[in-house]
Structures are given as C-alpha cells and as structure tokens.
Amino acid sequence: MTESQLFEVVQSFSGKSFSTLQFCQHFQVMFPNEWREIVQEYGEGGKGAGTNYSAYSRVAHYLNKQANDDNLDKLDYRDSPAEWGSRVIRYWSEDKSKEGAQHFPDEITIPETVTEGLKTTIVVNRYERDKSARSKCIEKWGIQCAVCNFDFERFYGAIGAGFIHVHHLKPISAVGKEYELDPVNDLRPLCPNCHAMVHRRTPALSIDEVKQCIEKKI
C-alpha cells in the first residue's frame, strides 16, 4: 500500500471517521489487485480459521504507523464484529480536531495529606503512560470494566465510545526503572468508579476483591 493509495481511500470518507474494517472495505473496492496481494501475503484468517484477520491486522498496523507519523488521528475503540479476531476495533480520522481524539485519564489517588484550614491537595500520578501499552491492554481485554462490566458507549452513546481507565495491577510507583511492562498481564481496563474503589486501600485491592464487594452488596 502506498501513501497515495492511503490518502485516496481516506478521502473517500469525505471527512468522516472510519474503522479499520471500513478502510479495508473501501480499499478492496478501490484497489482490488493490491488487496488480493495483501491477502495472498498475510492470509485472510477470520472466523473458524484459528487466527485473526491477518490482512486486516496488517492494514491496522499500517494505519497506526501513519498515525504515529502524524498523517492520521487515532480515535476511539469500539466493539468488533462477532467474527473478528480482536475484541475491539480502532477508529481513525484525517481531521485532528474531530471529537473522539484520545485523551488518556491519569490515575487519581486519595490525597496523601490533608491539613485542616489549608486547601486540600489532590494527588495525581503523572508517571509517563505508554499509549501502545494501553492499546494492547484494550485489544486483549476489551473496553468494558474488568470489575463491573460497565460499557461507556452502551450507556452514554457515541460520546462514551472507547473511554475507559487502564489500571496497573502492579503500582508504577513501586517498580524500578528497569521494569518492563507487560500490557496483557500487568494492565486491566476499569471504569473510574471501580478504579477509585481499587485504590481505597494501600496496597490496592485486587480486582477479585472489588468484585466480591459488589456481589455481597447485590
């Protein structure tokens, strides 16, 4: 796929945001020979094949590279079609001012100190977040809360699409500089409410412990 082909396909959406799937569908129609070459090289995969949609994954990686090069804007995640290899699918746009551009919420913890008569200080962790790690976590675990299964898009509509906090099972403040994050095993998606409850105690409650709190309440 060339950059000229990329921008020709992007322009076919007339400024609207698009998913990786929609991009591939447009590309197939506009450049059928090139699409066949991609499928031939990477395989189509799909439901029952035991693999993800390899050709689609290849295109997704290419779109991500273009976004990293500032040629596209990454938007939100949404649930994938049932037969899709990944639980979520990325949306993109050429318009960097479009609503849905990702902002990554900081992890807010309970104030360490509160002095009577003075302004209350809310402590916000400012450790650098790896956006690729966040993406890999969501691709593995989805965009529903790992504790209560809350889905922002299902509840709020389009404005909630792709919104979720990402919780570090091992606190960033407790690991050394040489620590290598494993996005699949070290991160989980949590809604802000459950995220706050996890941090009601130090050390933090586990996801299972918070689930048990909900079950006892019910």
Q: Where are the domains positioned within the chain?
A: 3-93, 131-217
The pLDDT score that the predictor gives to residue 45 is: 62
Identify the DSSP state of 118.
S
In the chain the first and final C-alpha atoms are separated, in Å, by 53
The pLDDT score that the predictor gives to residue 113 is: 43
Among all chains, which residue has been given the structure tokens 């049932």?
82
The pLDDT score that the predictor gives to residue 177 is: 60
Residue type, 22: Q
The pLDDT score that the predictor gives to residue 176 is: 58
The pLDDT score that the predictor gives to residue 208 is: 94
Global pTM reads 0.53
Say how far apart CA 112 and CA 66 lie, in whole Å.
Answer: 42
Would you state the structure tokens that stand for residue 68, as one six-digit string? 């990293």
The pLDDT score that the predictor gives to residue 21 is: 82
The pLDDT score that the predictor gives to residue 26 is: 92
Tell me how many degrees the CA angle 81-84-88 measures, rounded to the nearest 5. 70
Q: Specify the pairing of strand 165-168 against strand 73-79.
A: unpaired
Phi/psi region, residue 149 (left: phi>0; alpha: psi -120 to 50; beta: rest), is: left
**Three-state DSSP class for residue 184:** helix
pLDDT in tens, the chain (218 residues): 788 888 899 888 887 888 888 898 899 999 999 999 888 888 776 554 455 557 877 888 888 888 877 788 887 777 776 666 667 778 888 765 444 444 444 444 444 444 444 444 444 443 345 667 888 888 888 889 999 999 988 898 877 877 888 888 887 666 656 667 788 888 999 998 999 899 888 788 999 999 999 888 75
What Å distances lie between residue 118 and 111, 113, 115, 124, 169, CA to CA? 13, 11, 6, 18, 33
Residue type, 63: L
The pLDDT score that the predictor gives to residue 190 is: 92
Identify the DSSP state of 144.
S
The pLDDT score that the predictor gives to residue 188 is: 92
Identify the DSSP state of 158.
G
What sections of 12-81 are H helices per DSSP?
A: 20-30, 32-42, 54-68
Among all chains, which residue has been given the structure tokens 């918070």?
210
Say how far apart CA 57 and CA 80 lie, in whole Å.
Answer: 13
